[in-house]
Amino acid sequence: MQLLAVPMASSGGGGITLLLPLILIVGMIWFMSRTQKKQRQRQADTVAALAPGSKVITTSGLVGIVEETDDEYVTLEISEGVLVQVVKAAIGRVVPEEDTADDADSADEAAADSADETSADASRVDVPDTGRDKADGKVQDTPKLPPTHTEN
């Protein structure tokens, strides 16, 4: 028996096909690190811009007004007379001043509208639906009990 060495058929450009996945992986890692760097910088700018009187929302959803800041912590007033100290990294975002002014204006308008509706509807009493005014006259919310005996 004789073994013959036959050369394998090569697909021209073998070096490029090996480098392409490596270039894609390096590009994805660079892009993700760049995005994270921008996000960290934006967070650092937000924390650096904290001043007493700013309304902030923490990453856990706590809303408060900044009372004072120091190197590591921020003291927030979350309710009248209730102060909470949180780490600066926990500050998620600062609520812009125009949003709070718009909210106050819309709250005042809503209060005025509800006061008008309350005075107009003071003589009417709302009674919850008891379910007895159905077409067949049956109450549909009555639970069905299991049988207490069996019939043979």
The pTM of this model reads 0.46
Give the type of residue at 86.
Answer: V
Query: What confidence tier does 71 reach under pLDDT thresholds 50, 70, 90?
Result: confident
For the chain, give the number of residues.
Answer: 152
Beta strands in 32-116 (DSSP E): 55-58, 63-69, 73-79, 82-87, 91-95
Q: Over 90: is that where the pLDDT of 26 sits?
A: yes
For the chain, helix (H) and strand (E) counts, in that order, are 2, 5
**Angle, CA 105 vertex, CA 77 and CA 45 arms, to 5°:** 45
For 37-69, what is each residue's pLDDT tens digit? 998 898 888 888 888 988 999 989 999 999 999
For 84-135, what is each residue's pLDDT tens digit? 999 988 888 888 877 545 555 555 555 555 555 555 454 555 555 555 555 5
At the topology level, CATH places domain 50-109 in SH3 type barrels. (2.30.30)
